Chains A and B, each alone.
Chain A
Amino acid sequence: MKKLLILGAGTAGTMMLNKLNNVLDKNEWLITIVDQHEKHYYQPGFLFIPFNIYNCKDVTKPKRDFYPTGTTVINSEIDKIEPKENRVLLKNGQVLGYDYLIIATGAKIKPEETEGLKDKLWYKNIFDFYTIEGACALRDFLKHWEGGKLVINITEMPIKCPVAPLEFAFLSDWFFTEKGIRDKVDIHFVTPLPGAFTKPRASAILGDFLIKKNIRLTTEFNIARVDNDEMKIVSWDETEIPFDLLVTIPTNMGDEAIARSGMGNELNYIPTDPHTLRAKNYENIFVIGDATDLPSSKAGSVAHFQSDILLENFLCVIEGRKPRAKFDGHANCFIESGFGKGILIDFNYDTEPLPGKFPLPGIGPFSLLEETKMNHYGKIMFRWAYWNFLIKGLELPIESNMSMAGKRL
């Protein structure tokens, strides 16, 4: 029997498990997946919790619902990978050998990386919305907040879902308008980037949305620390921005197990071939999703597109052939813009988000880089598609490689 080990049962790991389980011969392959958590979160839904659009139940399901029968599942933290010995040590004492390893250990927020962030104001006046705990605590705070200075701050790039902070700003504008206190809330978007977003054309268009929605933008602000007593964030060059409510997107990092294994870069992301998705230093290890060091977005859609490529390459490699399929960095993100509308962007390593129609050229139904109601429905429908198709490894009618058809240059 050949042994395939998958580390991490988040979006990427669970998708790969289901896809491979469908094609690998059960008489030849033993598939094992390891994850320390029992709950699967639909992470894109966290954004909606503070505004009371989704509740915890909407974004949570047991991971076991998505494991195919016959899979060996081990519920334990990973101690470390020993890639030269082809084995993984678990915190529960188990030692797992493998012939092939797929690492899908993801990324998470590390507020501890910034001085004063996880201090006495944490979950009192400072919140994240990248965890279920943060999103729920923020919802409870917003219920009774009467207004003041709301600062939305990205600590450093890269972060999961680079559009989520903008969506948070847009939804705040909508939420406080509906509540009748928009005039009492000063929304301030503070980013280390030179513009509202990472790519120039989208950055300009999204920047215009910020202006239209009366959201202040401060760029090239690199936070050094939080002053908890005077309630302000301070940059490395001593610029200060006061807040009454700080919504932070803390530093994102890969899993500590990657650091313990000596396999990661300075943010614990694993050096990965950007096209084949094979670990740069090991022939029998593949990496997928947020765990990679690729310059693509850290998002579920990216993991989804990668999973098709990884499947093809995995099947090549186990037959002793060279991995042929090439990941192009494709990402596709619905940007919720408030008041029942949304914006859609579609891009890859080489092509920045462009205007046009998606997925059918000229027809849509979705519009790229434009604010429409249909885009909002797409975003809302997506949760259903996620639970019922995506995570189970079933096909969605979107190509893994980006298409220029329908895009305007």
Chain B
Amino acid sequence: METIDFIGRKLELDADGHLKNFNDWDKEVAQEFAKLEGINELTERHWIVIEYMRKEFKENGDAPSIRKLTKESGVDTKELYALFPKGPAKKAAKIAGLPKPKGCI
């Protein structure tokens, strides 16, 4: 089992390097994952996306696709890529403590 040490806590990861247990997540964990992804500071706009993703996951059991994010989170595609460079859906899911979106096959 792969684990990662964050601020003195040992957290389990899945095969994709995402957090294994949804409930291990908190804002500090998010900050640490963000740093790993090259995002040094999570701004208010980042948090809108992260919180939307967690809510969506709780309701539907899957992290939303980039299209769904654009449509429903209130943050447009251009900004999503600025906030989470390269792959917003995947990166934001990782920071939000969710598994890789199923759409990313």
| A positions within 8 Å CB-CB of B | 156-158, 162, 192, 194, 198-199, 220, 222, 224, 235-237, 265-267, 295
Contact = CB atoms under 8 A, between A and B. Distances in A.
Contact of A157 (B80, B82, B86, B103): B103
Interface residues of B, number: 17
B87 A222 contact: yes
B35 to A, nearest CB: 19
B81 A236 contact: yes
Interface in B54-70: 65-68
B17 interface: no
A199 B104 CA distance: 10
B9 interface: no
Contacts of B80: 236
B105 A295 contact: yes
Contacts of A295: 102-103, 105
B85 interface: yes
Given A157-B105, A267-B67, A295-B102, A220 B86 contact: yes
B3 interface: no
Nearest to B78: A236
Contact of A266 (B71, B82, B85): B71
Contacts, number: 38
A274 to B, nearest CB: 10
Contacts of A162: 105
A274 B71 CA distance: 25
B105 A198 contact: yes
The 9 closest A-B pairs by CB, nearest first: A236-B81, A266-B67, A220-B86, A198-B105, A266-B68, A295-B102, A237-B81, A295-B105, A237-B85
Interface of B: 65-68, 71, 77-78, 80-82, 85-87, 102-105
B105 A224 contact: no
Contacts of A224: 77-78, 81
A236 B102 CA distance: 22
Nearest to A193: B104
A156 B85 CA distance: 16
Given A224-B78, A237-B81, A267-B67, A158 B103 contact: yes
A28 B104 CA distance: 44
A15 B13 CA distance: 43
26 contacts: A156-B66, A157-B103, A157-B104, A157-B105, A158-B105, A198-B105, A220-B86, A220-B87, A222-B81, A222-B86, A222-B87, A224-B77, A224-B78, A224-B81, A235-B81, A236-B77, A236-B80, A237-B85, A266-B65, A266-B67, A266-B68, A266-B71, A267-B65, A295-B102, A295-B103, A295-B105
A330 to B, nearest CB: 15
A158 B82 CA distance: 23
Nearest to A297: B105
Contacts of A236: 77-78, 80-81
Q: Which of B68, B104, B105 has the most CB of A within 10 A?
A: B105
Nearest to A265: B68
Contacts of A192: 87
A157 B102 CA distance: 11
Contacts of B81: 222, 224, 235-237
Contacts of A199: 105
A265 B81 CA distance: 22
A266 B65 CA distance: 9
Contacts of B65: 266-267
Contacts of B87: 192, 194, 220, 222
A236 B87 CA distance: 10
Contacts of B67: 266-267
A156 B90 CA distance: 13
B56 to A, nearest CB: 12
Nearest to A238: B81
A237 B82 contact: yes
